[in-house]
């Protein structure tokens, strides 16, 4: 994990964007590339014990596999992924160079759409 992977201004903008989109439901924000990652936000009541390197490998491979699998689909372009767990959600927004995954408590579909759209705009 590298602390200089992402410039401080972009880091702050991503966290601010995620907080604005989902409020107190935000659990964590992790910025990643194919080779490295940085957790840029973790809510105070959560412990820093997640194996993020495993998550990153899975999310990067998952993005590539999903994008390739649906490339010529009638559904249109791939936009983002929502993963549902017993105690929260993970939203992955990824481009060919970088990505962000955000973990949250319960959200509505409209909240997910707002979050993914906002993060996509920051990554552009």
Write the DSSP string, 16-51: HHHHHHHGGGEEEEEEE-SS-EEEEEE-TTS-S---
Which CATH code fits 8-123? 3.30.450.30
Contact 34, 5 (CB under 8 A): no
Average pLDDT over the chain reads 85
Q: Average the pLDDT over 32-39 and give the result.
A: 88
Exposure of 27 in the CB half-sphere (CA atoms within 13 A): 16
Take residue 49 and report the two structure tokens written for it.
């014990």
Q: Average the pLDDT over 48-66 and give the result.
A: 76
Q: Average the pLDDT over 45-55 and give the result.
A: 81
Residue among 92, 24, 103, 82 at smallest CA distance from 60: 92
Entry pTM: 0.83
Q: Residue 99 pLDDT > 80, yes or no?
A: yes
Q: Residue 122 pLDDT > 90, yes or no?
A: no
């Amino acid at each position: 994990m590298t602390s200089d992977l992402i410039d401080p201004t972009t880091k702050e903008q991503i966290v601010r964007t995620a907080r604005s989109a989902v409020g107190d439901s935000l659990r964590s924000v992790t910025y990643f590339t194919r080779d490295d990652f940085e957790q840029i936000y973790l809510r105070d009541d959560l412990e820093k014990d997640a194996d993020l390197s495993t998550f990153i490998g899975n999310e990067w491979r998952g993005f590539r596999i999903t994008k390739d699998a649906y490339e010529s689909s009638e559904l249109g372009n791939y936009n983002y992924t929502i993963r549902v767990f017993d105690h929260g959600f993970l939203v992955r927004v990824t481009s060919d160079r970088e990505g962000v995954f955000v973990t949250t408590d319960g959200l509505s579909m409209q909240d997910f759409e707002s979050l993914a759209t906002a993060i996509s705009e920051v990554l552009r």
